[in-house]
Amino acid sequence: MLVYDAARFDAEFSGLFRFRAAGFFRGVICVRGSTYLDAELVHVLHHEFVHAALEQEAPASLAIPGWINEGLAEWFAYRALGKRGLSGSEAAYLEQASRTGELPSLTSLAAPSFAGLSAEYAGTAYLTSYAAIADLIGRGGERRFASFLADFLRGGRLERSLRR
């Protein structure tokens, strides 16, 4: 893991994303650091560790849909801060986005990376992905979600794993 001074991180990696990233994983975790361990850094570290764990467990040939990869990373990052599920304002935001046709479908968030998303769209994409994971866990519990994820990583067939 490499923790960068914020200015150096921005200078070196701003071209990788269309939005301001706090970290990323590409074989090594790189984060936009701070001089102390605050809630934002805790969030980013947990988020990126999930990406590293998924890469370790998934076969190289499996492209994990972005909504699973980012949603699960957000789930664990928020859990580290004591949060479970959407806040009232987040749910209201997604409901409004749904009413106005601005809520992305999970199919539209299937690409393995969100790096190419615009700054305006990225926040909604991450929140939608988090909401999808929170919903799946809320419906079946963490153990059933873990079984789903293990089945998907083993077999690579998302629809079948979701049905199980």
Instruction: Read off the pLDDT of residues 39-50 as tens digits, 9 standing for 90 and up.
Output: 988 998 899 999
Q: Which residue from 74, 23, 29 is spatially nearest to 56, judged by alpha carbons?
A: 29
* Mean pLDDT calculated for residue range 89-95: 97
Q: Which residue has the higher pLDDT, 132 or 115?
A: 132
pLDDT category of residue 98 using cuts at 50, 70 and 90: very high
Whole-angstrom Cα Rg for the chain: 16
Query: Do 145 and 46 form a contact (C-beta atoms < 8 A)?
Result: no
Tell me the average pLDDT of the chain.
91
Confidence of residue 2 (pLDDT cuts 50, 70, 90): confident
Task: Name the strands in the sheet holding 23-25, side by side, starting at the edge strand that comes first in the sequence.
Answer: 2-4, 29-32, 23-25
* Contact (CB, 8 A) for 29 and 48: yes
Least confident residue range of 5-9, 49-53, 89-93, 122-126 = 5-9
Residue type, 107: T
Residue 93 has what pLDDT? 97
Return the pLDDT at 35.
75
Rounded CA-CA distance 51/75 in Å is 12
Q: From residue 34, how far is each of 2, 16, 149, 161 by CA, in Å?
A: 12, 20, 33, 39
Question: Distance between CA atoms of 147 and 140, rounded to whole angstroms?
Answer: 10
Q: What is the pLDDT of residue 21?
A: 83
In this prediction, residues 62-70 reach a mean pLDDT of 95
